[in-house]
Structure 1
């Protein structure tokens, strides 16, 4: 398929109809291929959220929540459902690629959209690097004969090649890989039930959900700020609004469904794992990163009564984070860069779309280079300098996403209630207000260094915005001015 230009758009093709109403009214010419079904979007969202994400951060969330790990995920799901509702409202108003960047920019003002896009780039830039870093270090532990750096480069190259050849191949690869990931999760849950039936559990059935001795709202919110890493990614579905066969409603529905499914999966696996933690007090008090990081695998070994399940879960984590999960993370970042470059808010070469594969090839390749640079640098400092770069990057990721989501909630209120006079008070006022309040509460209870790093990044974005205004390149979106 060739890229549609204004001259050729009149004829169109089967994959991208001419005069696509989801794009033409915003001043864009269709370039990306509409080929994704609801199932494709569902699988994409699930794999981006990483159904087995708690495997890697179970110990950290257990510590932060004083053992109430399942409660942290319940609270996180509630917070994210409010955010998903606002995403669904804005994708219906603006069914185009760019996610919160476009929603805040068109819902409020292009300058606000730039700041929102900049804020969430902290998440999108760092997540692929974090995934590659964790995957390469984890699989190096299982296969020490191959250096972690070789695994890292291999993961990046494989994903870049798949993304280069377009979203259809990416979707096929994702569907295959998520099946394997869910199979491992199913084995763990089944062995957990067998382990409980055979008396290998610790008998503590309720602490994962509530402990009167440790409970406080501040504690739970602080744990949510860690557990939120597992939820990041459901919003990535909105990046594919221009590649969805069913348009905006399909995208909004997919986000809500995938969030609910993933949340229930997270709650189930962390509750089962908590039943096999042999010494909860020791894990909560532990200062050993290795012990905390291996907490889930230790629970898996206890559930099976043998080390094979721990090894299976460890290898599954490495492969899942290194291939399908980082693949969709790179896909989302490339679409954000494409959307901002198309509006001339980033260098124009990032807006180039392959005439053969209908994918933003330059953005894909640039994303691969950035991911390799971030993960490679972090791997060097981890192995050579002994610095805990995994924790450092993980704690930086959530801040940018939550700041962008605050702007998303504000955009719902401004676009629907203030600008268009909506009287749907529940969806367009109450839900975004409650969602914003919950996000602020989580941000307040986030670790101090995460807050500082995040504020520095947002501050840098404001400086860049000021420079753009100073040189006469204030943010503008197609179909509307910079005002």
Structure 2
């Protein structure tokens, strides 16, 4: 059966903006506190581990996206390189993990903007509103993403300036990150948490069917956006450690806001909170686009119901997939807390990237851009970080993954 194709409208600048908006979300404003709780004074080492794993995953995504410039990401790559079951497992992990990420971003937005009794309804409204934006076309998604990235970067710059110039940062607080012997389980756990803030660089690959000259544009867009975010996160980590110290960072639920509030630039704290709220919306917008395209690809292969493969005749987007995703996310924000959403999301996303690395490992010399050792490192890193997540997240993730695999087996047997 032939399905209508999506329009190729995105250039290199668009892909970088989408990658930035997918990564610079609520994580940069909130994740350093939990990461410091896990790693203590070795937070910076956890950040380095997360960066290395993210780099390995990104290079695998670049190599695969250049060979398969179509929507679906690792779902498509896994099917082509490893077999249909591996592709389904990757796609299913992406859909369930990133649906939870959507809920986490919506809940984070609400937490920064309204009192607790209103947070779940506001999170649901935000989900529906951004789904409506994406429904009207990917170019509108990119236009809004540009505005969001600009606002968030401005807020982060104000936060860094306020913490360093308005406070009393101390170099010993940063140097303290090298004191003592690291607890490697805690470092790995912090890296897994920090990886949640990096996840999103491959969102460009899931839009492969809408990118111009995808063989060149997608690899460059992924690498450029990841490099920019790595520099930004390193600056944030050093700043919060220098201002709050390891213990103060671990005790904070909003390290950047607290770092600013600790100094004389108290006027800047609302700016940081506004930036966190806008960042959450930016990440949610990019997530809705990425997940719906993976659902589209899976529906085209009948791994999900075929009616989800419909493309809107005017806006050229997978409108049914976006509507169903909105319903799922609204259900999650009304029933799940933020901590549970993040843990479940991290498990699914790490397994998704493990399949991506394995798929890239099997590619031949004609398609190879990076050494296999980097892809082996990616597989080991993803599985290792997934194992450090809370046991409830691991068990829930395995249960949902098993349910998806079982459901596919049943449907295929009936066919």
Give the one of 240, 243, 261 matched to 1:301: 261
Aligned partner of 1:238 in structure 2 is: 205
In structure 2, relative to structure 1, the CA distance for the partners of 1:90 and 1:203 (3 Å cut) is closer
Contact between 2:25 and 2:276, CA under 8 Å: does it hold in 1? Answer: no
Aligned partner of 1:69 in structure 2 is: 43
Q: Secondary structure at the match of 2:172?
A: coil
Aligned partner of 1:156 in structure 2 is: 127
Aligned partner of 1:326 in structure 2 is: 284
Contact between 1:241 and 1:248, CA under 8 Å: does it hold in 2? Answer: no
Structure 1 residue 283: deviation in Å? 5.7
In structure 2, relative to structure 1, the CA distance for the partners of 1:180 and 1:398 (3 Å cut) is same
**Separation of aligned partners in 2, 1:130 and 1:259:** 21
Structure 1 residue 301: deviation in Å? 0.8
Aligned partner of 1:127 in structure 2 is: 101
Structure 1 residue 320: deviation in Å? 2.1
**Separation of aligned partners in 2, 1:136 and 1:218:** 32
**TM-score normalized with structure 2 length:** 0.93
Contact between 1:44 and 1:328, CA under 8 Å: does it hold in 2? Answer: yes
Contact between 1:195 and 1:201, CA under 8 Å: does it hold in 2? Answer: no
In structure 2, relative to structure 1, the CA distance for the partners of 1:129 and 1:273 (3 Å cut) is same
Q: Secondary structure at the match of 2:31?
A: helix
1:206 and 2:144 aligned: no
Q: Which structure has greater helix proportion?
A: 2
1:273 and 2:240 aligned: yes
1:362 and 2:320 aligned: yes
Instruction: Write the deviation string for residues 418-462 of structure 1: whole angstroms up to 9, x where unpaired.
Output: xxxx38888252221122122232223332222222222222222
Q: Which moved more, 1:249-258 or 1:326-335?
A: 249-258
**Separation of aligned partners in 1, 2:162 and 2:111:** 26
Counterparts of residues 309-348 of structure 1 (less than 5 Å): 309-321=268-280, 323-348=281-306
Aligned partner of 2:395 in structure 1 is: 452
Give the one of 283, 288, 310 matched to 1:352: 310
Aligned partner of 2:76 in structure 1 is: 102
Give the one of 391, 405, 410 matched to 2:358: 410
Contact between 2:26 and 2:108, CA under 8 Å: does it hold in 1? Answer: no
Aligned partner of 1:91 in structure 2 is: 65
Structure 1 residue 29: deviation in Å? 5.4
Counterparts of residues 170-181 of structure 1 (less than 5 Å): 170-181=141-152
Contact between 1:138 and 1:315, CA under 8 Å: does it hold in 2? Answer: yes
**Separation of aligned partners in 2, 1:462 and 1:132:** 28
Tell me the C-alpha RMSD between the 2 structures: 2.2
Structure 1 residue 151: deviation in Å? 2.3
Instruction: Write the deviation string for residues 51-89 of structure 1: whole angstroms up to 9, x where unpaired.
Output: 563212221111111033333222211111111111111
Structure 1 residue 274: deviation in Å? 1.4
Instruction: Write the deviation string for residues 352-401 of structure 1: whole angstroms up to 9, x where unpaired.
Output: 111111111111111111111111223xxxxxxxxxx2111111111111
In structure 2, relative to structure 1, the CA distance for the partners of 1:428 and 1:311 (3 Å cut) is same
Structure 1 residue 293: deviation in Å? 1.4
Gaps of 5+ in 2: none
In structure 2, relative to structure 1, the CA distance for the partners of 1:214 and 1:28 (3 Å cut) is farther
1:57 and 2:23 aligned: no
Contact between 2:107 and 2:120, CA under 8 Å: does it hold in 1? Answer: no
**Separation of aligned partners in 2, 1:193 and 1:108:** 49
**Separation of aligned partners in 2, 1:70 and 1:28:** 50
**Separation of aligned partners in 1, 2:287 and 2:224:** 19
**Separation of aligned partners in 1, 2:237 and 2:77:** 34
Structure 1 residue 282: deviation in Å? 6.1
In structure 2, relative to structure 1, the CA distance for the partners of 1:301 and 1:44 (3 Å cut) is same
Q: Secondary structure at the match of 1:65?
A: helix
**TM-score normalized with structure 1 length:** 0.81
Radius of gyration: which is bigger?
Answer: 1
Counterparts of residues 137-156 of structure 1 (less than 5 Å): 137-141=111-115, 147-156=118-127
In structure 2, relative to structure 1, the CA distance for the partners of 1:301 and 1:360 (3 Å cut) is same
Gaps of 5+ in 1: 1-26, 285-290, 379-388, 417-421, 473-483
Give the one of 368, 372, 376 matched to 1:429: 372
Counterparts of residues 227-266 of structure 1 (less than 5 Å): 227-266=194-233
